Amino acid sequence: MQSVQVKTTDSIYPIIVGENILHELTTILATLEPSKVLLVTDDRVDQLYGDKLLDLLKKNWSTCKYVIENGEASKSFPVFYNIQTYALKEKLDRNSVIIAFGGGVVGDLAGFVAATFMRGIPYIQVPTTLLAHDSAVGGKVAINHPEGKNMIGAFYQPKAVLYDSSFLKSLPKDELRSGFAEVIKHSLIRNETFYHFLNSTIKDLSDLTSERLSDMILEGIKIKADVVSKDEKELGLREILNFGHTLGHAIESQAGYGKISHGDCVAIGMTFAVWLSQKTYHHHLNYDEIVKWFNQIGFPTRIPTSFSSEDLLNKMLSDKKTRSNQIKMILLEKIGVTTSKVFTKEELLTLLEQWREMEEEEIV
């Protein structure tokens, strides 16, 4: 078991990583002395582990459980409203604690409920997916809107993050791949050595052994924790975590949330961002090697042909980080070192079309 601390302006909290450490949750809760605990999870996680965690919690605290449907579609206002209603009916108060037990959807949704219920009550993240090693850290909580991903939300830090890596054993391959996209992102933006390790070691998802996963999770969390500690509310440095996400979120929204996994969308976004970095700064970033590696792992590296570039640009313009009708792209100076550049819609549309035409020619 290992621990990393996240320090923000108003709080310090631990991220505890290890195998079979779920029992540590009782130690964390004991320091909070909750009047009641609300466990929020999804139907898939509930079927596998819900009773185990509920039994653990009920030994010491009055506990209730709310189960959402698995998938991005649950990160919506109606589900958010329903959980708030349930919490009120169960008579949660300001001394109650919410446990977010699941992947990124559960974490974002339950965290936003915690941030807004009675103007904010404590919550703890207990992620169960590889993707959530990223989303559970940093306090960004939100729900989606048809006009954009995570458009309604808050910055609200958890009291702790407990990452029991044993949950990863039950992950389907597509979810494992989706989470691995964020691991790759962390290496590309912050740690060249880590990137070369991943590139040389992980040629297929079967190469993601338990030991390697634990090391990758810890390294990714350290990178995320360091960035969040220096810029809690995305006023500067934290923007680098959006590498691959500006286009990725647009594809995700255009497809309809849940139709293409978050990680696959981010992989396409990172592919474009690497190409755009090379073209803009004339630095050699081994674009072809990255595309080949992504394809080998199973990531898509091209935008679906049915999606128009114009529609995607309009989605990108509605992104929270867009200013004055211009789009800021997080790019790479080199592997492990980021920069950014602002493009007008027309400039980026031309470049996106150029990239797509080049990729289509490669197919032919």
Active site residue 292: no
* Candidate list 119, 169, 284, 323, residue with the active-site label: 119
Which member of 44, 65, 75, 140 is catalytic?
140
Annotated catalytic residue within 177, 224, 232, 252: 224
Query: Is 119 one of the catalytic residues?
Result: yes
Q: Is 249 a catalytic residue?
A: yes
Catalytic residue among 72, 175, 232, 234: 234
Annotated catalytic, 82? no
- Whether 282 is catalytic is no
- Is 150 one of the catalytic residues? no
Whole-angstrom distance, CA of residue 132 vs CA of residue 229:
18
Q: Where are the alpha helices (DSSP H) in 140-298?
A: 173-190, 192-201, 210-230, 245-255, 262-281, 287-297
Residue 283: active-site member: no
Catalytic residue among 75, 159, 238, 315: 238
Summarize the annotated binding site for Zn(2+) as residue ranges: 182, 245, 262
Q: Residue 6: beta bridge partners?
A: 13
Three-state SS at 122: coil
Catalytic member of 219, 249, 252, 315: 249
Residues 133/219, Cβ–Cβ less than 8 Å:
no
Count of beta carbons in the 10 Å neighbourhood of residue 31: 8
3-state secondary structure of 242: helix
- Owner of token pair 């909070």: 32
- Binding site as annotated, residues: 104-108, 128-129, 140, 149, 182, 245, 262
- List 75, 245, 252, 315, catalytic entry: 245
Q: How far apart are CA 226 and CA 238, in angstroms?
A: 10
Task: Check if 234 is active-site.
Answer: yes
Spatial neighbors of 342 by CB under 8 A, at least 6 apart, are: 326, 327, 328, 329
Residues 173-196: b if buried by 16+ CB within 10 A, e if exposed: eebbbbbbbbbbbbbbbbbeebbe
Binding residues for NAD(+): 104-108, 128-129, 140, 149
Catalytic annotation, pick one of 72, 182, 219, 232: 182
Q: Which residues are catalytic?
A: 119, 140, 182, 224, 234, 238, 242, 245, 249, 262
